[in-house]
Amino acid sequence: MQKLRYESPSIQKMNAGLMNKFGTRTEYEAVKQIDGVPVKTLIEQYGSPVFIISERTIRQTYQSALRAFKTRYPKVQFAWSYKTNYINAVCNIFHQEGSWGEVVSGFEYRKALGNGVPGDKIIFNGPEKTEAELILAIHNDSLIHIDHFEELYQLIDLAERLNKKPRVAIRVNMDTGIYPMWDRFGFNYENGQAWQAINKIVASGKLQLTGLHCHIGTFMLSTDAYAIAVKKLSDLAWNAKTQLNTLIKYLDMGGGLPSANNLRGAYMPAADMIPSIDEFAEAISNAILKIGFANNELPLLILESGRALIDDAGYLLGTVIANKRLSDGRKATIMDFGVNLLFTAFWYEHKMSPAQDFTHHTEDMVLYGPLCMNIDVVRSSINMPLLNRGDHVVVHKVGAYNMTQWMQFIQMRPNVVLIDEQGNTYLIREAETLEYIEQMEKMPAHLKTIQL
Amino acid sequence: MLFFSKNKVFALLILLVSFFTPFTGACGLFAVIVAIMAAHALGFGKEQLQNGLLTYSVVLFGLGFGTNFEFGIAFMALLVVGALLTFFISAALNAVLNKRGLPALSLAFIISTALLIVASKSFSGIGLTHRHIYWYNELYALGGNRLINLLTNIETWNIPDFVAGFFRSISAILFQVNIGSGIILAIGVLIYSRIAFLLMVFGYSIAIFFGYLMGGFNQIDMSYYNMGTNFMLVAVALGGFYIIPSVRSFLWIFVSVPIAFLMVSSVGSLMFKQGIPIFSLPFCITVILFLYMLQMRAKPGKLVLTPVQYYSPEINLYTYINGKERWMPMMYHQLSLPFMGEWMVSQGYDGNMTHKGDWGKALDFVVLDNEMKTYRYPGNLPEHFYCYNKPVLAPADGLVVEIIDFIEDNEIGGNNAQQNWGNSIVIKHAEGLYTKLSHLKKNSFKVAKGAFVKKGEIIAQVGNSGRSPEPHLHFQVQANPYVGSKTMSYPFAYFTTREKNDIVFHTYKIPNEGSFLSNITTNDQLHQAFNFQPGYLLKVKADNYAEEEWEVGTSVYNETYFYCKQTKAVAYFVQNGTVFYFTNFIGEKNNLLFYFYEAAYKVLLSSENKINVKDNFPLSVYAMNTVKWLQDLLSPFYIFLYMQFESEVKKDANTLHSGSLSFTSKRVLSLFGKEKKISTATVTIENGKLHAFTIQTSKKRIEAICTL
């Protein structure tokens, strides 16, 4: 007989219900492998903690999202939102699937170029673009999305100087009935600034007004908001066509589509709350098709969805460092990953699964990270099976934003590993080392020596 | 037009031979000049006269008249009157017969000559000549002793009667009976068409054999115009000219030549009593009869009437083989798939679920995910099915003739056998051509009965009404406007299927069950670049070639073409919104237009996927060599030589279709399956305009720049 696993004692609330023959049950299932690769092997090979990315999930999610749109609207283009996850290997999976690049800084822009994305398939967004970056983008015939009038004037000026006619779009913000209203980016629709910007562009004759862009928020839970946004954007496009004789070639609806993560403080689980990509596709496509564009003048629909396409494909594997009991009697478990790696822990109640077998006993606990810092709380209250030191844990749906917003704070960033469709693993970003961190540091001569 | 040919070399040879009897030849020439002058004066158009359909009977009349009558004032008067009469009869017969798709052949000549011969018996001012008995006199005047010696020498050659008869028969078309003329004409025929030559030999041999069987004819009789010539002409006309040459057309000669034989004997002996030679009357009757009979068939079958006459059996055959797919647009309406994105055929034609009997030629479509499921978890509501609620598109332009829109969707697994078709729409595209889409969602119709819909317009959404246990789209083509009409087999014009990792392009096919289909998404820029409208002028320049100007025009048959102003070459093309392809090239070959014809022979106007488009050139556009001669001879039976074409538009993720774009193509010569690359080409398009094309062969490189 196999030796029974030790579990530390747990405290359970008295449950005064009818007895049943199944005893207490837990909804948890041990997740021992990812895409057929055992978690144990991954940790042995790449250490703990480690980020795992599933190429199969990325491709499947991408294809099904694209299908949702393409079976409803004839001209659809996805652009990979670099800020969501700009590890080059990840970006290139999207580019292989046909995605363009959507960048919000010169750094991301050069990253996209470096990945081999042709300049004319890069959408350059964001409030800050330096003159040098704009010149580069103009030379590459990229789609420049203008955020403010200063940028607009600068572009007109540059176009004149370079004697080129850059392709531009304006970012439009609007009231779509959701709160908070994202009115800090782009030109407002309701107060007429968006229309004013369009007029200025057309009147200048120096820029090609190619598209219109909006991005109404993030983790949107309402499809109606998109339908309203499409309606308002299409109105602008229609007016541009009928009043300014300018054919708007694309409508960029931005991103903001949610993933299946549970938002902090949400009453219902995500699966019951968030609309599927199909529902968003339905709302957006129907709204454009209703406007009345002729079949051959239908604008290209661009989507910059990031989170919804990558979140499911990312996993974080970690290990239990210690258990302790807090002053109020609650159990606390300390993991080797914290908010330094799991930035999204501030927004989500991440789903966690033990990576090995466990008994049916569970207990409410706090999950802490390894940082010597009070903010480092991964889950403030989670009902989990009992874990011992050295046990492994899988955090689900961490593909978006964590590998870009992670902090090199107290700890260094770990390995990132890709599992391809055949189950082979590849190290796609090496764990940081002291040398790497200190590479950029410069030591003034008088501080070189210390004596203690 | 004599011998069905438009070949210039052959025409010169005919002219040469006809002047072996200079007087006769002069009569022919004179008659046709008179007829043409009169035609111009009467206001006949250049187009009507140019192809010689109305005047070649006049030439024959002139030649025949000159052969038979003595020269004099009465002769001249009758020649003029007769030539005009022939022309009038020609015009009338052509009008009557061409309307029914039949040729008038040399009927006008036969009628007018017969009339004149009968009439001349009562005219004392004109008499039959004996000149043709003493034709050496004329020859002597023309070429002296040497020519006479040559021709008499040939006559004394020791060739079998069978062969000698063959040549005499050929010469008899020009009212001569000598082997020398026959040989020259035979060479002419061979230059004009190997198939025609083969058919002449065939027709002649069958006639001899048939005569031998009947025991009534000997070979000497064959040598006269009214004998052997008729059979050869019948063989050419029905074996390879008005019918696409094939094994079948050759076999039918075994029937048509004996019929002509019968005519020669019967009609010939009737007319002989009146002293009227029958000339080619048996030929005319047999051919017209046979062609009219073929037109009455309900199904065209495999004995194919020449769809477009190129005046050469070879060109007709090669163009036909090559153009089977190209004729599709003439036979079928251009239908596109009635949905967006990629769908799968869940039940094909004569499927084993519901596509049975009269309703068998129908297709069911669904959307699948990567795991080949039609729904997402849990799949107990129509909304969970990927195809549910998806837009349904009009497969082609048409009129909405029926809409049923009151039936509720079934629950999953349910079945409404009472209202079998569920909510449906029937669209009329042409007389007797309707499409029906069924199991749609109630209240989802975007159009009303009586509306005119455009191809690709959204007409409704997929539902789950009628006999539909789970949401799917039912599509069928029918000949009647009713919901519930029986189905008919009908292809989709252009679509792609996904096979493993390849995207395969299909033209005019019926999709198979289980295949994943998508419509072709055209690239706006390519579409614009190849959207050549009449009047469009393109200047093309390349080193070592004279600058050319190509003008786009439209013929009276609504064919679009490039006309090169410098070389007068014409390249016919089709652009139907999905594919651009050339259909024919006429004129000089060593010029830029021909190179462009070779480079852009067929182009799919889409850059969405890497799609290889294949085609073959008609062999007739390529120059003669030994292999080609052999191929021509065998072509009705077996093709071993192919000039293959492949093109591929560079896959481009630029869905905004801006900037530049290119496609490559190559020509591969295949001889008995052994392939050899002949040339490669690259064509570039910039900002929606044809910019340049480059051709690389083993010997040279041509870089041409196109400007407006």
Residues of B214-252 as b/e, b for ≥16 C-beta within 10 angstroms? eeebebeebbbbbbbbbbbbbbbbbbbbbbbbbeebbeb
Contact state of B376 with A276 under an 8 Å Cβ cutoff: yes
Q: CA nearest A211: which of A147, A129, A139, A302?
A: A302
Q: Where are the alpha helices (DSSP H) in A36-100?
A: 39-46, 55-70, 88-96
Dihedral sign (CA A428, A433, A435, A438)? positive
List where CATH 2.70.70.10 sits in chain B.
343-518
Q: How far is CA A391 from CA A30, A66, A199, B42, in A?
A: 12, 39, 62, 107
d(CA B665, CA B3): 39
Chain A residues in contact with B367 by the CB 8 A cut-off are: 67, 71
Q: What pLDDT shows up at residue A161?
A: 95
CB spacing of A141 vs B370 below 8 angstroms: no
Are the CB atoms for A204 and A170 separated by under 8 Å? no
Residue B171, SS3? helix
The answer to whether B656 contacts A282, with C-beta atoms less than 8 Å apart, is no
Instruction: Select the residue of B390, B454, B524 nearest A72 (Cβ to Cβ).
Output: B390
The answer to whether the beta carbons of residues A223 and A286 sit under 8 Å apart is no
| Residue B217 confidence class, pLDDT cut points 50, 70, 90 | low
Contacts of A282 (CB under 8 A, 6+ apart): A72, A223, B389
Residues B328, B510: contact at Cβ < 8 Å?
no
- Size (chain A), residues: 452
| Residue B271: predicted pLDDT | 81
pLDDT of residue B193: 87
pLDDT in tens, B382-406: 989 999 999 999 999 999 999 999 9
Three-state DSSP state, A120: helix
Contacts of B654 in chain A (CB under 8 A): 118, 120-121
Query: What CATH superfamily is the domain B1-160?
Result: Ammonium transporter AmtB like domains (1.10.3430.10)
Is the distance from CB of B71 to CB of B122 less than 8 angstroms? no
CA distance B643 to B601: 12
CA distance A427 to B302: 64
Q: What SS3 state is found at A88?
A: helix
Six-digit token string for B330 = 């003439």
**Cβ neighbours for B699, distance < 8 A, ≥ 6 positions apart:** none
Contact between A167 and B339 using a beta-carbon 8 Å cutoff: no
State the Cα–Cα distance between residues B236 and B484, nearest whole angstrom: 49
Tens-digit pLDDT string for chain A (452 aa):
778 777 777 777 766 666 666 665 667 789 999 999 999 999 999 999 999 999 999 999 999 999 999 999 989 999 999 999 999 999 999 999 999 999 999 999 999 999 999 999 999 999 999 999 999 999 999 999 999 999 999 999 999 999 999 999 999 999 988 877 888 899 999 999 999 999 999 999 999 999 999 998 887 788 889 999 999 999 999 999 999 999 899 999 998 888 888 888 777 777 777 888 888 999 999 899 888 888 778 899 999 999 999 999 999 999 999 999 999 988 999 999 999 999 999 889 999 999 998 887 888 899 999 999 999 999 998 988 888 999 999 999 999 999 999 999 999 999 999 999 999 999 999 999 999 999 999 999 999 999 88
The DSSP code sequence of A287-325 is: HHHHH---GGGPPEEEE---HHHHGGGEEEEEEEEEEEE
Q: Which CATH architecture has domain B193-321?
A: Orthogonal Bundle (1.10)
Could you tell me whether strands A300-303 and A425-429 are parallel, antiparallel, or unpaired per DSSP bridges? Answer: unpaired
The model's pLDDT over B472-499, given as tens digits with 9 standing for 90+, comes to 999 999 999 999 899 999 999 999 999 8
Residue A438, both tokens = 């200190």
How far is A230 from A224, CA to CA, in rounded Å? Answer: 10
8 Å CB contact of A71 and B370 = no
The CA distance from B151 to B132, in Å, is 15
Helices (H), B99-242: 107-120, 135-156, 161-172, 179-192, 194-214, 219-222, 230-236
Nearest CA to A79 out of A99, A93, A98 is that of A99
Q: Which of B457, B653, B659 lies nearest to residue A295, judging by beta carbons?
A: B457
Quote the CA–CA distance of B9 and B624 in Å, as a whole number: 14
Residues of chain B with CATH 1.10.3430.10: 1-160, 193-321
* Residue pointed to by tokens 């109105």: A235
Name the residue facing A70 among B340, B369, B370 (closest C-beta).
B340
pLDDT at position B243 over 50: yes
Residue A428 or B55, more confident: A428
CA distances from A346 to A151, A320, A374, A398 (A): 33, 20, 13, 12
The pLDDT of residue B8 is 67
Q: Which residues in A32-64 are b (16+ Cβ under 10 Å) and which e? A: ebbbebebeebbeebebbbbbbbbbbbbbbbbb
CATH for the stretch B343-518: 2.70.70.10
Which of B445, B446, B462, B437 is CA-nearest to residue B406?
B445
Nearest Cβ partner for A282 among B342, B389, B654: B389
Mapped onto helix, strand or coil, the DSSP state of residue B167 is helix
CA distance A183 to chain B (A): 28
CA distance B59 to B64: 9
Tens of pLDDT, residue by residue over B552-604, are 999 888 889 999 999 999 999 998 888 999 988 888 888 899 999 999 999 99
Which is it for strands B570-575 and B560-564: parallel, antiparallel or unpaired? antiparallel
Mean pLDDT (whole number) for B361-376: 91
**Greater pLDDT, B6 or A75:** A75
| pLDDT over 60 (residue B142) | no
Asked if B367 lies within 8 A of A70 by C-beta distance, the reply is: no
Q: How confident is the model at residue B1 (pLDDT cuts 50, 70, 90)?
A: very low
Best residue in B523, B656, B661 to probe A by mutation, most A CBs within 10 Å? B656
Parallel, antiparallel or unpaired: strands A122-124 and A100-103: parallel
Q: Where are the alpha helices (DSSP H) in B238-375?
A: 247-273, 281-295, 313-331
Mean of the pLDDT values across residues B427-432?
Answer: 94
B376 min Cα distance to partner chain A (Å): 10
- The token pair at B450 is 């009586």
Kind of pairing, strands B362-366 and B343-347? antiparallel
CA–CA min distance B395, chain A (Å): 14
* A141 neighbourhood in chain B, CB within 8 Å: 658-659
CB under 8 Å to B95, separation ≥6 — which residues?
none
Whether A77 and chain B come into contact, CB under 8 Å, resolves to yes
Report percent pLDDT > 90 for chain B: 39
User: Which whole-number Å values give the CA distances from A89 to A51, A92, A416, B191, in the listed order?
Assistant: 13, 5, 10, 66
Sign of the Cα torsion B524, B530, B531, B537 reads positive
Burial class (CB in 10 A: 0-12, 13-18, 19+), B73: exposed
Query: How high is the mean pLDDT of chain B?
Result: 85
Q: For the beta carbon of residue B660, count every other beta carbon within 10 angstroms.
A: 13
Using only C-alpha atoms, chain B has a radius of gyration, in whole angstroms, of 32
Phi-psi region of A154 (alpha: psi -120 to 50; beta: other; left: phi over 0): alpha
- In this prediction the ipTM stands at 0.83
pLDDT of B220 > 50? The answer is no
> Between chains, do B653 and A64 touch, taking CB under 8 Å as contact?
no
CB spacing of B340 vs A74 below 8 angstroms: yes
Q: How many helices (H) and strands (E) does chain B have?
A: 18, 25
| Cross-chain Cβ contact A289/B389 below 8 Å | no
pLDDT tens column, B620-641? 777 767 888 888 888 888 888 8
Nearest chain A residue to B521, by CA: A74
- Angle at CA of residue B517, ends B512 and B518, nearest 5°: 155
pTM of the model: 0.80
